[in-house]
Amino acid sequence: MSSICILFIYSYAVVSITFQQLELVQFILYLRFLDVCLQLWQRSKQGYADLKDSGFLKLPSERLLQYKKNTVNQRPGLHTEVFEWMNKEAEQQRVTERGRHGFIVFDEMKIQGSVQLRRVGDEFEIAGLVDMGDFYHSMQSLQTGGEQKAEMATHVFQVAFKGCEGFFFPFVWYPTTEIAPICIFNCHWDSVFYLEEYGFFSHACLCDGGQANRDFIKGHFGSEENAIAKKFTINNLYGEGSYSFIMDPPHNIKKLRNNLEKSTVTGTARCFKTRGQNILWAHLKEAYLHDKTNARAPLTSCKIRDGHFQLTPATRMRNHLASDVFSDDMLELLDNYQEFKRHQKGDDDSMSLTREYISAANEFVQIFANTKPIRTMDDPRLMRLDAALHWFLDWKQDVMDSVNLTSKERNKSYISEKLHFDLCSMVFGFKSYVHTMTSQFPGMGLVAGHTNQDALENMFGCIRASNGSNTNPTVLQYGPSVNGYIHCRSFKVRNGNSARKN
């Protein structure tokens, strides 16, 4: 209703005024009016058409709204007009000087592989091929001896900036196949340079745990051990201070759940074991089934349901389902079930290490969902993060010191090496990022709950929805969809993998 009221006010103000007669204030009012119309049109094109046809309000045509939406031509690569738009958006949202400091976040999205023609004035150009810029094509020429081969793009590599106060803007994208680490390196540092040219400063890089992303981070250190030893921190190549690398916390929570799910007594994939006891997914399931059968009231506040254990390929991607597994509710179920076993069967706390695993992961969940700012490096939450990570480090050391285990048994007894690397990056990189920001802006807090790529995941959800909820867009559809998202970022994704709030 608020949008309708705004439309009515704006429509009343400009209904009898021609474009040439508009004075400056009226012109600004008309542009704002177009923005509101554009948001309504993006939400429901049919609803906008019905409202326009009703004659209740005099609304601009859909062609005019399309011109408004695509004022900036979203093309692959870094372009001046996008950064100018980004700067203008920051000014309109009254982003402070501190809010222009933050981190870069990037991810890939699958698109439809198809070659199409894009009209540019009176000419046409081919769209849908891999376009990673001049550096990429030069490297390809060196590798193939000058022979040029066209590749059809199957993914889009999207890079965005997220300020420490919440400002989010996607500023560059590339059509590609599954991207190589060297291409990520080039795109990332080019982005850091151009952001600084327009008054935005990146002090960290955040990404998920894809192998290409992991190799990109290792490329700055030479080896996995060196990256951990240096706390995933290097000197900023284009600015003062340090630069950190952070693996996305929600993705790590899901991988902690998935690793635990594979841990069974038979040990076909994993059989977590330390200090002579097992850490098993079956312990969680037993505790849940016992509570469901014997203790649970018809109406209960417990979040744990059948869906947390009967996972499908779609629900396995849901962040909240993984977080719930490591919630206080699950800890309570384990405590109650262990107490029942102790009294009824004389069981001697056989689930204690499983509870410790859940408790350590619970610290990650709670701290990276916390929206209270971290103002100093002495914040207790950072100490709790350290303690949770060191629980995993001590576990690994215990497994490595077990002389009776073969190499294969050691691998099964601990989480995957990839997840171990990602957890270290998540904690050490985040702490380094906090240190950089609190040093540069003393007394100003940093919110751990905003240090994730949820906004980018939700953006992908909006782009898919604007091109049909069951199909991915083509390269030609992707650019205008990014414009639509930026204009109408108030949209929320109801069924996305990540948090709904952008």
- Domain chopping of the chain, boundaries: 2-69, 96-245, 252-446
- Quote the strand ranges of 338-464, DSSP E: 373-374, 446-447
Interatomic CA distance for residues 394 and 385, integer angstroms: 14
**Highest mean pLDDT pick, 30-34, 66-70, 123-127, 400-404:** 400-404
In this structure, what token pair is assigned to residue 291?
A: 């509570």
Query: What stretches of 198-296 show up as alpha helix (H) in DSSP?
Result: 211-218, 224-229, 249-261, 281-290
pLDDT of residue 469: 57
Tell me the average pLDDT across 7-19. Answer: 49
Q: Is 248 helix (H, G, I), strand (E, B) or coil?
A: coil
Average the pLDDT over each of 118-127, 258-267, 454-463 and give the range with the smallest value.
118-127
Residue 206's nearest CA partner among 98, 108, 109, 106 is 106
Tell me the average pLDDT across 173-184. Answer: 89
Q: Which region holds residue 145: left if phi is over 0, alpha if psi is between -120 and 50, else beta?
A: left
Spell 218-252 as b/e; 16+ CB within 10 A means b.
bebbeebeebbeebbbbebebeeebbbbbbbbbbb
> Please, which pLDDT band fits residue 22 given cuts at 50, 70 and 90?
very low
Average the pLDDT over each of 69-73, 171-175, 328-332 and give the range with the smallest value.
69-73
Q: Are 465 and 150 in contact (CB under 8 A)?
A: no
Tell me the average pLDDT across 435-464. Answer: 89
> Please, which pLDDT band fits residue 372 given cuts at 50, 70 and 90?
very high
pLDDT of residue 149: 73
Q: How far is CA 193 from CA 182, 190, 239, in A?
A: 17, 5, 9
Interatomic CA distance for residues 157 and 213, integer angstroms: 12
Interatomic CA distance for residues 31 and 201, integer angstroms: 30
Tell me the average pLDDT across 412-422. Answer: 94
